[in-house]
Structures are given as C-alpha cells and as structure tokens.
Structure 1
Amino acid sequence: MSIRHPQISLSRRSLFKFGAGAIGTGVLTAGLGSNLLAAEKTPVEEDITPDKALQELLDGNERFAKRKRRNPDQSYSRLVEVAKGQKPFASILGCADSRVPSEIVFDQGLGDLFVCRIAGNIATTQQIGSLEFGSLVLGTKVIMVVGHERCGAIQAAIKGAPVPGNIGSLLEAIKPSVESSKDKSGDMVETVCKANILAQIQKLKSSSVLSELIKAEKLKIVGGYYDLDTGEISIVS
C-alpha cells in the first residue's frame, strides 16, 4: 500500500527551529520558489512515522524480491497528481550502479522516493545538502543509505590502483572504510561495503539539520545492503 503525506508550508521561523539557518533563508526563498514554501495541503491517508516509512520500504523490497510487485503510483493519474507538488515519504542515498534502481527494488512509484545516486553511495557535501532538503522541506521520514554486492567503486578502492580524471575523489571517500576493515574476516568487498554504509550514515548524522530532525523523532537514518543475486535488502547496523 502506498503512503500519502500532506504538503508542508515552511516559514523562516520553522527553518531556524530545525537548525537550518546555515542554509540561508534568502537562498531558500529565492532558489526553491514559493510553490515549495507555501504548497497546498492534501489529505492525509496515514499518520506516517519514521518507523512506518522504513517498513514501507522493506515491504516494497520484499514484494520485489518475491516477484510480487504491485507497481504502485505509476499511473497517468499519479503523474498528474505529483506534477502539482511532491511529498516523498523516504530518501535514498544509493550507488549509481545501473542494477540498483531505487523505485524498482523498493516497488515504489512517482513521487514516493527522493533519490540521490552516486558511485559508492558516498555522502558528499552536495548529497548531504540534497538530503537535508528532502527531509526538512519535502518531509521524508527515513533516509536509507544503500550499498550493494560486488560494488565496483568498493573494489577499486580496495585495489588502490591509480585512476584517471575525478574518479579518485570517489575512492578517497571510501578509503577510510578500507583501512578500518583490513583486519576483519570474510569477504573483503562486502565487509568494506557495509563499513562504508555505516561511515556515510555517520556523515549524514553530523548534519545539524538532519540531527535536529532525528532528535525531534521526525527522521530516521538507516543502512541497507542490496544483494544483486536475490534482490533483497538487508539492514546494516
């Protein structure tokens, strides 16, 4: 069952209340537009909480893995509905790998997920800013950092060979997880991938905006590990 949520209206006072003064209210007003800051309210179908949002993600993934997808919120009427404004219930920080498309593996549709994708699912300054926007302005209740089996970025970081262009900047962000995993047993790629997921979660939690939302019990940040062979997501903790 898909979750619907009300559009929100954010005042300058509410932005400061949640520690968002650093974002700059002038930038928000000028850059995001009045439609986001004073959106029309829509009916609430369910009282969404971070726990319920997480369960919706896990339920959707279970349907996907068991080949029982419902393909919700993918109709033309849904397209028309979300064209007027978005209210996703969850955010995903996932790898750019083409085999892990969030809306498909979580069995969601248009307007349900706020997705940031980057090789190695690393939390860059820009990714953190995007997720702050998704949680504070759009109201997502859970952020899941999703890594996956046999990740190429993780493999390259472990190998440590020189790489061209800006690829190295991605690998540098993963290297601390490589170092912290050297003495651990088991599959090295999986171990580093899970360590990297947890490291990126800590980066997100260091955000003043996201940490305030967590304290107010309006947000939860969790990790997920995607199995390429089964399609299943397991929680990383």
Structure 2
Amino acid sequence: MSKKQSQVNISRRGLLKFSAGAIGTGVVAAGIGSNLIAPEQATAKDDITPDKALQELLDGNDRFVKRKRRNPNQGYTRLLEVAKVQKPFASILGCADSRVPSEIVFDQGLGDLFVCRIAGNIATKEEIGSLEFGSLVLGSKVIMVVGHERCGAVDAAIKGAQVPGQIGSLLEAIKPSVESSKKQSGDKLENACKANILAQVEKLKSSAVLSELIKTEKLKIVGGYYDLDTGKINVVS
C-alpha cells in the first residue's frame, strides 16, 4: 500500500469514528490533538478549576474598570513561551464590536484567552466547533459569552432592518431572543441583548462535546454583559 493510500484510509477511519459518536474526551483529544498540536498541548490545564478560571476573568475585568491593569503576559518572553504550545485558561464568544477587545477588558495576555468574535456574539456551528476545540483539546476551563450594551446587531434585529449581503443571517439568528424578551419590562434593547447572551449560552451547552465536559466538571459556560460606559462585565443568568 502506498503512503498516500495509507493516509486516505486513516482519514476515513477517523471520520467513521466521529460519525459513530465517539465524543469521549480521551478519544477526541487524542484524535484531534495528535494531528494538530504537540502531545503535551493536548493535555487539559490541571492547575485551575472552572470556578477559578471564571474568577480570574472577573478579577481581570475589575482591574480594567478600576484602571489598575497589570497587562500580564504581553512581553517578548511570553511570546516565546506560547510560540509552540498554548493552554488558554478561558474562552470567549464575543461580539465583533471594536469597543470590546477581550484581552484588554479582561486584562489578559498572549496565550491566556481563546477568543471567537462575531457580530451579535451568536453561536454558529463554526463558532461552536472552535470552542469545542478550545475546551476539549486546549484545555480552556470556562467559556463566557460576552454581549454588550447597545449592540448594533441586536438593535437591527429589533427594528427588522433590511440589510444587504449576508448581514441578514446574523439578524435571523438573533430574532428568537428579540421575541422571547418582548414582554419584559425595562429597556427593550438591553433585555434583548441579555436574552441573546443566554440563548447562545444554552446553544453551547447543547453541544455533546461541551455538555460532557460540563458533566465531568471540567468546564463552565456563562454569559457576560459588558457596559460600554464603564467597562464593567456582569455575569448574566
């Protein structure tokens, strides 16, 4: 058998394993990790719990709000440390809004956060797959869905804006949250933003890979609401 044929057969066997539902942590970590990253990189970070990882995020945001940022892990030494191996302690599904850069508002540095950003902070299948990888293979202990005050995508969904290109696909994904929050008292846009955050949290929790990690207490998924005026992130539940 030629080397090329062998590689094709191995790939087919790998696909069959996934289609058969082999989603156990060890199986997927070995299957994905061995092909894409160094063996030591595929090992989950053991020195921090999901609760501690969440607290580290909140503590970093508190420093940002109080203008006491430490700007950790941003020097050349850290650059070299993470050049070949990354073990982010937290993952962020955030809005693409230019005013909410994760490493800055959480006061983190190189290799600390595994970040996915998309307008409206919606959990598309690609975003979910990325976060599955970040948690299962890289060892991230917490995923925070970060929405924010006065989100333009949510506002457009509320107003039923007619938009060109693929922008409409974002609004369609947000519309269920707009509907579910309609009867709530208070600010309509804020309510919809928070409802959208929680909807994406639940969508992530429905992932077979992520739900297994939650079940085994290796992962926590929460929502966060960012105040554009103060920089404060409050946990949404």
Interval containing the TM-score (normalised by the shorter chain) = 0.7 to 0.9
Is structure 2 residue 24 aligned with structure 1 residue 17?
yes
Q: Offset at 1:39?
A: 2.7
Secondary structure at 2:55's aligned position in 1?
A: helix
Residue 161 and residue 66 in structure 1: after superposition, are their counterparts in 2 closer, same or farther (change >3 A)? same
**What does residue 166 of structure 2 align with?**
166
Is structure 2 residue 208 aligned with structure 1 residue 208?
yes
Secondary structure at 2:221's aligned position in 1?
A: strand
Distance 2:137 2:118 in 1: 22
Is structure 2 residue 47 aligned with structure 1 residue 47?
yes
Could you tell me whether the CA contact under 8 Å between 1:20 and 1:208 is conserved in 2?
no
Q: Offset at 1:24?
A: 10
**What does residue 80 of structure 1 align with?**
80
Secondary structure at 1:147's aligned position in 2?
A: strand
Residue 40 and residue 94 in structure 1: after superposition, are their counterparts in 2 closer, same or farther (change >3 A)? closer
Q: Offset at 1:184?
A: 1.1
Please give the per-residue CA displacement for 1:122-143, whole angstroms capped at 9, x wherever unaligned.
0000000000000000000000
Could you tell me whether the CA contact under 8 Å between 2:42 and 2:139 is conserved in 1?
no
RMSD over equivalenced CA pairs, Å: 2.2
Please give the per-residue CA displacement for 1:19-58, whole angstroms capped at 9, x wherever unaligned.
976x994xx368x52x34x13699x8x8200000000000
**What does residue 198 of structure 1 align with?**
198
Distance 2:61 2:70 in 1: 11
Q: Offset at 1:185?
A: 1.1
**What does residue 10 of structure 2 align with?**
none
Distance 2:64 2:33 in 1: 39
Could you tell me whether the CA contact under 8 Å between 1:149 and 1:227 is conserved in 2?
yes
Q: Offset at 1:183?
A: 1.1
**What does residue 152 of structure 1 align with?**
152
Could you tell me whether the CA contact under 8 Å between 1:19 and 1:212 is conserved in 2?
no
Distance 1:53 1:216 in 2: 16
Residue 161 and residue 40 in structure 1: after superposition, are their counterparts in 2 closer, same or farther (change >3 A)? closer
Distance 1:157 1:40 in 2: 40
Unaligned runs of 5+ in 1: 1-11
Distance 1:73 1:195 in 2: 34
Which amino acid in 2 is paired with 1:174?
A: I
Count of equivalent residues:
216
Which amino acid in 1 is paired with 2:125?
A: T
Distance 1:152 1:59 in 2: 28
Distance 2:76 2:134 in 1: 24
Could you tell me whether the CA contact under 8 Å between 2:33 and 2:137 is conserved in 1?
no
Distance 1:18 1:202 in 2: 21
Could you tell me whether the CA contact under 8 Å between 1:120 and 1:153 is conserved in 2?
yes
Secondary structure at 1:47's aligned position in 2?
A: coil
Unaligned runs of 5+ in 2: 1-16
Which amino acid in 1 is paired with 2:70?
A: R
**What does residue 71 of structure 2 align with?**
71
Which aligned pairs between 1:56-205 and structure 2 lie closer than 5 A? 56-205=56-205
Larger Rg: 2
**Matched residues, percent identical?**
76
